Amino acid sequence: MSAFSMSTPTKDRMTPFGAEVSASAPEREIARDLALRTLLIAPVMLVIGATFWGWAGLWSSGYGLAIVAVNFLVGAAIITWSAKISPAVMFGAVMLGFIARLGIITAAVLPIRNSEWFEVAPFAISLLVAHIGLLAWETRHVAASLAFPGLKPGAAVLSSRDRSIDSTAERSA
């Protein structure tokens, strides 16, 4: 038999974006971690909203935080789905998904913008601070290597690294 005929069957070959990406889905793991971190910052954001804007600020901050968590999860779902198809589809899906998610945020605000319980300022602050702050926080926990795609090993929410950073901050204060 020739070397060509002894090659492994096509079904056993690893595809560039197929089985490996869908099996591990590091983007889903990161999005779940971001959603859990949203729950960790929620009490602070809700107290700030309630302190300065009353009940309307509390509800508006909560609404903004819910949108942030859903936004991260939907973004990860788009990547997971499109990565199974091809890099070109993933590129298009991520770009169009970003625009669509901005439209969904707008559509979520327009019908309630004049409601009694809605305040724009705490909503916008929660939305912006949570998006940017959570992404910055998450960068410490994402592995930038192919050996561990997604979160670093042991970098779950409130990992030992977070606790050690928190304890050193308390000691220095």
What pTM was estimated for this model as a whole? 0.71
Per-residue pLDDT of the chain (173 residues; tens, 9 = 90+): 444 444 444 444 344 444 444 456 888 888 998 999 999 999 999 999 999 999 999 999 999 999 999 999 999 999 999 999 999 999 999 999 999 999 999 999 999 999 999 999 999 999 999 999 998 988 887 766 665 567 666 655 555 555 555 555 455 55
- Judged by DSSP in three states, 142 sits in strand
pLDDT tens digits for range 70-111: 999 999 999 999 999 999 999 999 999 999 999 999 999 999
Q: Where are the beta strands (DSSP E) in 13-159?
A: 142-143, 150-151
Residue 101 sits at φ, ψ, to 5 deg, of -70, -35
The residue with tokens 């939907």 is 74
